[in-house]
Structure 1
Amino acid sequence: MGNNACGSSPEIIDGIFLVGQAGGIIPDITLDRVVSNYLSLNSSFALNHHYGTIQERLSKDQLTALDSNLTSIFSKRTKVSYGGVGVVALAMSLLLDTLVDGVLGQMDGELMDRYQRIFGPDNTSEISSITREYLRLVPSMVNNSDMMAEITDVYDQKLKHALIKLYESMTIEHRMSTAALKQWINGAAIHLHIRIHGIRLLSVPRGSAESLRLSYRTGLGRLVQLYASYIRRNVKERGPTQDPPFKAGFLITEPNRKVRHRVSHSACQTQGIISAIVSRILAVQNIRATEMFFEEADFMYFMYHKTELDCTPLLDTNITTGS
């Protein structure tokens, strides 16, 4: 009977976890959906779909303004080399978002929010800044292969060193955090595809992407183990007091991440609740999806596949891709 009284019910765990979600303290180290969509075999489809959504969203006059901006960048009926694949597709999607923001009169903060979704709240980090600089440069040099190769190599090296620095900070200096791991995962994913783009441009050896992929896959495994230990150490919970003076309970997921709650439970249930919350936090990170991103499948395709993006006026045609 005592054991049953100290068992935590799913309703209690759900209630506390939902309070944590509402309070924005549930950690997120996931590979961003935008990154995974554009750095995948479905990149051309994702870009076409995004383009179609924009067409549905804007009025005819707004589409005309957007078309004018596009043609001023790429010239009418210009094909964008590799426009439908990898980092170029990602850069093109962000360019479209920037131009749409301009047409709608929105501020740069809207685009910053997109980078925040990729890199987390600390989107002014070195990794985020390097990535943002590179992706903003891509549209202006897509049809100049020599310039693209040179700039891609420069940012490949910048991002490589920033990622090594962050990795060592988490593993050697024991400065693990959700923010740091979120930046590393998404930065590593983008860096790998910057390297792959360098192979397409014949500026780096073919085998360098595979060695980088293996390095990141191995590094990810170690970081996930360290992160799981970090979460187990930091999650704390206490229920509200049952007697005067009444005090709300609290949930802590990591330093400076705390919410109060009023989900009532006995003190002997606390440890079971903490264990369940830890398991729930780790489960929602979808670690397997991130691992699969760095698996071997489809990487040879990315190295040699070529697509072009048709930037003819939006009112006349959609994005087209082809080998």
Structure 2
Amino acid sequence: MGFMLSFDIDAPVDNLAAFAREICPFPNYFPDPHYYNLLSANSSHHLQEHYISVQSSLSPKQLEDFTQSLRSTFGRHGRVSHGGVGVVALSLAILFDTVARKVKGEYVSDREPIPGLFLKDYRGYYPTVVYTISEYLRLVPHIANNPTRMKEESERCLEQIDAQYREWQEAFNQKKDIWPLYEDISAANIHFSYTLGMYLLTVTPSHYGKEQSVIGDVLFQLNCDPEEAANQFISKMHTYDKNIQDSIKDRGLDRESIRATLMKEFAETLFFRSIIVSLFKALETMGKAGKDQIKPYVEHFDLKGNALGKW
């Protein structure tokens, strides 16, 4: 039996696991909380704060160019239909970041995965579903005021996500020779993309989600010598919380039995917790959307009213 920590679904990342990552820098599998905020029931509030923050970071000339770019997209009325609703709010925040970078003279790719939204793969490999979600989120601001187009594109995106997720499941189950898909970063990005698809249900009713999440047999990239890292971790075991020490004793684990797999199991625990948390938050948001169809889930966003410069 391995050494597995138990995390409460709403708890912050455990200090012990954070310490383990300092010794063995395996990836942080949790998306930026900023994105969860934009997908929450308080989407409009978080989007407004982000909009103000982005504008405040610009020089007067940059702000003028930024505002002009948004006005050319949304018109002089500056109103985005359902702009305060999860997926639309997220897409607007991404647009704000993109336009801000462009007016600052930075290069921005319109074809790569959206920066910061997915876990970074340093070899540059991303599953197809990551590109599907990125393409959809970049498109949304340009069609948000067209209900028919929004419905069509959202349903198309959901169908693509479902098909791509099923393909991954089949390959995973049959152990086909597509090793990058088994690695922790790729698997986390696939699961997060699938979860993002669940949020699309708040803007378009559609069949979605019959497939079960694939868990197990993920290849974890530890970026350390596992035994050396475990030795460092174990040497400080006496400093840990008494509950952790008791948990180790209750499992009858000694230093030798946990040495070989300790860091991997820390990584595995946080990986699966990130998946559970993302699913939980999606279901929570969808549940609230079902109970309250007036506010905030049919809340428009006023770009003009929140603009810091002349619209």
Structure 2 length as normaliser, TM-score?
0.70
C-alpha offsets along residues 114-173 of structure 1, whole Å, 9 cap, x if unaligned? 435414315643111111111111111111111221222222211211111122222342
**Judging changes above 3 Å, is the alpha-carbon distance between structure 1 residues 16 and 79 closer, same or farther for their aligned structure 2 residues?**
closer
Q: In 2, Cα distance between the equivalents of 1:310 and 1:317?
A: 14
2:258 is aligned with 1:272: yes
Question: Which residue pairs with 1:102 in the alignment?
Answer: 102
Q: In 1, Cα distance between the equivalents of 2:19 and 2:279?
A: 30
2:46 is aligned with 1:46: yes
Matched residue count: 263
Q: In angstroms, what is the RMSD of aligned CA positions?
A: 3.7
* Offset of residue 301 of structure 1: 3.3
Structure 1 length as normaliser, TM-score?
0.68
Q: In 2, Cα distance between the equivalents of 1:231 and 1:186?
A: 17
What SS does the corresponding residue of 2:204 show, helix, strand or coil?
A: helix
The match for 1:183 among 178, 189, 208 is 189
Contact kept, 8 Å, 2:80 with 2:302, in 1: the verdict is yes
One-letter amino acid of the structure 2 residue matched with residue 292 of structure 1: F
One-letter amino acid of the structure 1 residue matched with residue 226 of structure 2: E
The match for 2:22 among 5, 13, 18 is 18
One-letter amino acid of the structure 2 residue matched with residue 307 of structure 1: E
Identical pairs, percent = 19
Higher relative contact order (CA 8 A, sep 6+): 2
2:299 is aligned with 1:310: no
C-alpha offsets along residues 254-298 of structure 1, whole Å, 9 cap, x if unaligned? xxxxxxx99998xx9565333432332234444442342244x34
2:229 is aligned with 1:237: no
2:45 is aligned with 1:57: no
One-letter amino acid of the structure 1 residue matched with residue 192 of structure 2: N
One-letter amino acid of the structure 2 residue matched with residue 309 of structure 1: F
**Judging changes above 3 Å, is the alpha-carbon distance between structure 1 residues 54 and 143 closer, same or farther for their aligned structure 2 residues?**
same
1 or 2, which has the higher strand percentage? 1
* Offset of residue 101 of structure 1: 0.6
**Judging changes above 3 Å, is the alpha-carbon distance between structure 1 residues 117 and 315 closer, same or farther for their aligned structure 2 residues?**
closer
Question: Which residue pairs with 2:128 in the alignment?
Answer: 126
**Judging changes above 3 Å, is the alpha-carbon distance between structure 1 residues 111 and 157 closer, same or farther for their aligned structure 2 residues?**
closer
C-alpha offsets along residues 181-231 of structure 1, whole Å, 9 cap, x if unaligned? 2122211121112233112xxxx4xxx35xx2xx46xx23xx34444xx55
* Offset of residue 32 of structure 1: 4.6
Q: Which ranges of structure 1 fall in alignment gaps of 5 or more residues?
A: 1-12, 240-249, 252-260, 319-323
The match for 1:301 among 264, 281, 288 is 288
One-letter amino acid of the structure 1 residue matched with residue 266 of structure 2: R
Q: Which ranges of structure 2 fall in alignment gaps of 5 or more residues?
A: 1-16, 236-253
1 or 2, which has the higher helix percentage? 1
The match for 2:145 among 143, 146, 156 is 143
Contact kept, 8 Å, 1:141 with 1:147, in 2: the verdict is yes
One-letter amino acid of the structure 2 residue matched with residue 301 of structure 1: K
Contact kept, 8 Å, 2:82 with 2:298, in 1: the verdict is yes
Q: In 1, Cα distance between the equivalents of 2:28 and 2:132?
A: 22
C-alpha offsets along residues 213-256 of structure 1, whole Å, 9 cap, x if unaligned? xx46xx23xx34444xx559x997344xxxxxxxxxx89xxxxx
